[in-house]
Structure formats: structure tokens, C-alpha cells
Amino acid sequence: MNASTGSPVDAAFLRRWLGAATAAVDREAEHLTQLDSPIGDADHGSNMRRGFLAARTAVEQDPPDTPGGVLITAGRQLISTVGGASGPLYGTLLRRAGKALGDEPAVTAAGLRDALRAGADGVAQLGGAAPGDKTMLDALFPALDALTGALGAGGSVAEAFTAAAQAADEGAKATIPLRARKGRASYLGERSMGHQDPGATSAALLVAAFADTARERAE
């Protein structure tokens, strides 16, 4: 591996990411549900907690030996255990990304980025949302762009995901003034303005978990 690609991302890395993401979702579930109260049905935290706990359990019980396998198993659990819109959408994100990784035992950070972009495109296709519609995509797409920028500039995996996490966080905060055009929040029309989107907020947690996982490995 040369400096521009950094250390490979293997199944163990993705399993650690899933553990970190599940812990973050569990810790922030109350906050996610609070965000889903004024512009939704107050279930985003419980949906995410149920889905990620099931995903982590499935991966722990029968650990896949490829990074793609980890994402596919996790995505399948999200789809089958979460009733809300976020289950099929996040499930599609992870499953599509996992399929894009194929059977490789390890991939580069750029390979992971390409796979996550395929996953985010799958979310946009399934949900019909575009950037600016006040959804999880408003955190995911800026994160992917930041990841591309940082990797292109020669950054390490940890640096690139740290930049991505910051962009996702900024993207989530930037949903506050937006009017929701998709999902339950769109039923509120203008009254959806002035509230941070719960799904963009959870997406930022998932990206931050990548940064934490990569930084721990770098230390």
C-alpha cells in the first residue's frame, strides 16, 4: 500500500465500525427521537437502535470474513427489523455498498468511498430524494465529497474520514432552515423549517464512527 491509499480496509475494520456505529446510535437514540418529534413521529432513535443492535448481533454471531459481507449482513438486518423509512433506506445504503465491494478480503479507502457512493446513490434512487430535500442525503453526499477531496489530497484514511465526519455534521446542521420535500416531515410543508433532520443527524453519527474507527487504528 502506498501513502495515497493507506492501510487496507478489511472485515475487522468494518466490524469495528459497526460496533462504534451501534454504540453511537444507542447513546444518541434519545436525541434522534427528540429531533423526530416536531417533524416526524418520534421513532427515529428507537428505529435506529433496534436496527443497529440487530445488525451488530447478526455480525457477531456469524462474522463475515470480507468487508462487503459485513455491510450486506448489517443492511439486511436494518431492512428486516426497522419498520420506519430509515430501515429500508439505510439498509439499501449498506447492502449496495457491500455488493459494490464484492468478495475482496480488503479494499482501499478509495474503494470503500466508491462503494459508499454507490450505496448513497441507491438511497437517492429508492427514496427519490435529492440534495437539499432535508434528508439523510444532506449529510451523506457532503461526507462523500469531503472524503474524495481528502483522499485526493493524499490524506490518510483517518484524516479523510475525519474530514468526512465534519462535512456530515455541517450538512446535518445545514438541514435546519430547509423545507422537507421527502418523508413524513414533508407533510408539514413550511412548518418543517427550523428543525434539524433526524436522518441527517444519524447519518453524521455513522460517518463519525468511521472516523473514530480509523483514528483508533492509526494510534
Spell 135-154 as b/e; 16+ CB within 10 A means b: bbbbbbbbbbebbbebbeee
Dihedral in degrees, nearest 10, Cα atoms 44, 145, 180, 192:
70
- The Cα 51–Cα 88 span in angstroms is 10
| Residue 91 interacts with, from ligand ADP, Mg ion, none (CB under 5-8 Å by kind) | none
Rounded to a whole number of angstroms, the minimum distance from the CB of residue 4 to ligand ADP is 32
| Residue 85 interacts with, from ligand ADP, Mg ion, none (CB under 5-8 Å by kind) | ligand ADP
Options 6-14, 78-86, 92-100, 151-159: segment touching ligand ADP (CB under 6 A) = 78-86
Residues that bind Mg ion (CB under 5 A): 36, 40-41, 43-44, 84
Q: Which is nearer to ligand ADP, 100 or 129 (CB)?
A: 129
Q: If binding is defined by CB under 6 A, does position 169 make contact with ligand ADP?
A: no
Q: Which is nearer to Mg ion, 10 or 26 (CB)?
A: 26
Positions touching ligand ADP (CB under 6 A) are 36, 40-41, 43-44, 47, 84-86, 89, 123, 127-129, 135-137, 182-184, 197-200
